[in-house]
């Protein structure tokens, strides 16, 4: 039984010190509709790497008004992806009008 479970189990994500992550929101108000709310909050910064896939996470200056520090497991976290730098987004670029067929 244990061997079957271990065969399908995926390994936990490994994060490095200083990496940006999102945290799964766990406390929701009873009676409120949460269907359209984002499930993760962030970004947060990893301030310490602990044993057993645990990480100490702290808030980043400029993103929140309160200082925050807590310990989370790797399965409750997700990597923060900055879409602007990943796809090199620029607003108002000249390439936007090339795809139009209005000649």
Q: Is 45 part of a structural domain of the chain?
A: yes
Q: Is 4 part of a structural domain of the chain?
A: no
Number of domains within the chain: 1
Q: Which domain holds residue 56?
A: 37-82
Q: Is 41 part of a structural domain of the chain?
A: yes
Contact 79, 21 (CB under 8 A): yes
Q: Is 102 part of a structural domain of the chain?
A: no
pLDDT digits (tens, 9 = 90+) for 13-57: 999 999 999 999 876 677 777 788 888 998 999 999 999 999 999
Q: Is 15 part of a structural domain of the chain?
A: no
Give the Cβ contact number of residue 72 at 10 Å: 19
Alpha-carbon distances, residue 74 vs 50, 51, 80 (angstroms): 11, 11, 13
Q: Is 67 part of a structural domain of the chain?
A: yes
pLDDT digits (tens, 9 = 90+) for 64-102: 788 889 999 999 999 999 877 666 666 555 455 455 555
């Amino acid at each position: 039984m244990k061997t079957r479970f271990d065969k399908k189990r995926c390994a936990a994500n490994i994060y490095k010190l200083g990496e940006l992550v999102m945290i799964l929101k766990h406390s929701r108000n009873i009676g409120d509709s949460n269907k359209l709310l984002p499930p993760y909050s962030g970004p947060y910064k990893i301030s310490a790497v602990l044993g057993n896939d645990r990480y100490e996470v702290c808030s980043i200056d400029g993103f929140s008004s309160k200082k925050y520090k807590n310990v989370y497991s790797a399965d409750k976290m997700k990597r923060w992806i900055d879409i602007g730098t990943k796809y090199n987004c620029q607003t108002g670029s000249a390439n936007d009008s090339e795809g139009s067929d209005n000649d």
